[in-house]
A = this chain, B = another copy of it.
Amino acid sequence: MDAILEGGHEIGHHHYLHEHANEMPAAEERSWFERSLDVIVQATGRRPAGYRAATYRFSRNTLDILIDAGIRYDASLFGDDVPYVLANDRGSIVELPSHYGLDDWPHFQFSRDFQTLMPIKSAAEAHRVFREEFDAAWEYGGLWVSVWHPFLSGRLARAREMRTLIRYMHEKGDVWFATLEDIAAHVRHLEESGSWTPRRDRLPYYPGPIPELGEAEPGNVEPL
């Protein structure tokens, strides 16, 4: 962790035990969230700026929890190719959208325990996915966020491809390499200065329970 911080990188909130936020009541999600928050503050000396839900499973309560904790951005949703804003009655945060194809998991993970019994790609094949999305983001102007797990992308041939890709990005130029925290701050700055208005996604999409889907489970939606 010291090396990460010394290298100028950012440490975000990604759960305590990789628990799935959408499979527990609001109070339990909040309790795990705060426990992890404490650990990060102890270890880094500051509160994290951002959050990504484990396996990208943002729950119906997650936005409340993030806003209450002063989290400034989320990176769990797949709703756009550029930043946008998630808002509800409590406030709003910046959404820095992800893309499952830019996560190394679907390319390299093979595990009976995770039920991911999938052919493992060559690093070269996986990086064709990463690179084509980078090229498209470069062409149209977009956000490119990848997820590299040390136990997957940290093997030799894969790490070598990461270096090759980063060099390619540098050579192409006109790319801003930044932490998600800096990107979120930039979005807010643009919004405040009026130079760009991000799209605003208001939650919940449906103001009441959806009769066809049954009532929400008791205790699973917190009052404001």
A residues lining the B interface (CB < 8 Å): 16-17, 55, 78, 81, 99-101, 106-108, 110, 112, 114-125, 128-129, 132-133, 135-137, 139-140, 142, 151, 155-157, 159-160, 212-213
Contacts and interface: CB of A to CB of B under 8 A. Distances in A.
Given A81-B155, A107-B119, A122-B125, 19 more contacts: A17-B212, A17-B213, A78-B151, A81-B156, A101-B120, A106-B110, A106-B118, A112-B115, A115-B117, A118-B118, A119-B119, A120-B129, A122-B128, A122-B129, A133-B155, A133-B156, A136-B157, A136-B160, A140-B156
A128 B213 CA distance: 39
11 contacts: A16-B212, A101-B122, A107-B119, A116-B117, A117-B117, A118-B118, A120-B129, A122-B132, A132-B157, A137-B156, A140-B160
A160 B110 CA distance: 26
A145 B114 CA distance: 24
Contact of A157 (B120, B135, B151): B135
Chain A: interface secondary structure?
A: helix
A1 to B, nearest CB: 16
A155 B99 contact: yes
Contact of A117 (B17, B118, B123, B124): B118
A133 B101 CA distance: 22
Contact of A136 (B81, B132, B151, B156): B156
A10 to B, nearest CB: 24
A16 B118 CA distance: 27
B123 A100 contact: no
For A55, A78, A106, the residue with the greatest tally of chain B CB atoms inside 10 Å of its CB is A106
Nearest to A130: B122
A151 B115 CA distance: 23
